[in-house]
Chains A and B, each alone.
Chain A
Amino acid sequence: MRALVQYCVNLKGLCVGAVTQVRTIGMVFLHAARKRQTLLYPEEKPDLAPRYRGRPVLTRDPNGVERCVGCGLCAVVCPVDCIALQQEERESGQWFAKFFRLNMSRCVFCGLCEEACPTSAIQLTPDFELGEYRREDLVLEKEDLLISGTGKDHSYSFRTHIGRASAEFGAQWAEGDDAPQSPVDTRSLLP
Chain B
Amino acid sequence: MSVFSLPAVQAILPQLMSIAWGIGKALIVLFGVVICGAYMSLVERRVLGLWQDRYGPNRVGPFGLFQLVADMLKIFFKEDWIPPFADKFLFVLAPLVAMGTMILAFMVIPVTPDLGVADLNIGVLFFMAMAGLAVYAVLLGGYASGNKYALLGVARSAAQSLSYEVFLGLSMMGVVARAGSFDLRTIVLSQQGLWNIIPQFFGFIAFLIAGIAVVHRHPFDQPEAEQELADGYHIEYGGMKWGMFFVGEYVGIILISAMIVTLFFGGWLGPFSVVPPFVWFALKTGAFMLFFILIRASVPRPRYDQVMILSWQYLLPLTLVNLIITGAVLLWVGGAA
Contact = CB atoms under 8 A, between A and B. Distances in A.
Interface of A: 7, 10-11, 14, 21, 24-25, 27-29, 31-32, 34-38, 40
A36 B54 contact: yes
Interface in B241-299: 294-295, 297-299
A14 B314 contact: yes
13 contacts: A11-B314, A14-B314, A21-B299, A24-B298, A25-B298, A29-B51, A31-B51, A35-B53, A36-B53, A36-B54, A36-B55, A38-B53, A40-B55
SS class, residues of chain B in contact with chain A: helix
Interface residues of B, number: 14
B5 interface: no
B177 interface: no
Nearest to B219: A21
Nearest to A24: B298
Contact of B294 (A11, A29, A35): A29
A11 B51 CA distance: 31
B313 A37 contact: no
Interface in B41-74: 50-55
A25 B295 contact: yes
A14 B307 CA distance: 12
Interface in B288-321: 294-295, 297-299, 310, 313-314
Contacts of B294: 25, 28-29
SS class, residues of chain A in contact with chain B: helix
B53 A25 contact: no
Interface of B: 50-55, 294-295, 297-299, 310, 313-314
A25 B290 CA distance: 12
A14 B314 CA distance: 9
A158 B89 CA distance: 77
B299 A24 contact: yes
Nearest first, the 6 closest Cβ-Cβ pairs linking A and B are A28-B298, A38-B54, A37-B53, A25-B298, A31-B51, A24-B298
A31 B52 contact: yes
Nearest to B55: A38
Given A7-B313, A14-B310, A21-B299, A37 B54 contact: yes
B53 A34 contact: yes
A36 B53 CA distance: 5
A18 to B, nearest CB: 9
Contacts of A21: 299
B312 to A, nearest CB: 12
A35 B53 CA distance: 7
Contacts of B52: 31
A17 to B, nearest CB: 10
Contacts of A37: 53-54
Given A21-B299, A29-B294, 11 more contacts: A14-B314, A25-B295, A25-B299, A28-B297, A28-B298, A29-B51, A31-B51, A31-B52, A36-B54, A37-B53, A38-B53
Nearest to B291: A25
B46 to A, nearest CB: 11
A32 B54 contact: no
A30 to B, nearest CB: 9
B72 to A, nearest CB: 25
Nearest to A23: B298
A28 B51 contact: yes
A32 B293 CA distance: 13
B64 to A, nearest CB: 12
Contacts of B54: 36-38
A169 B51 CA distance: 66
A132 B51 CA distance: 36
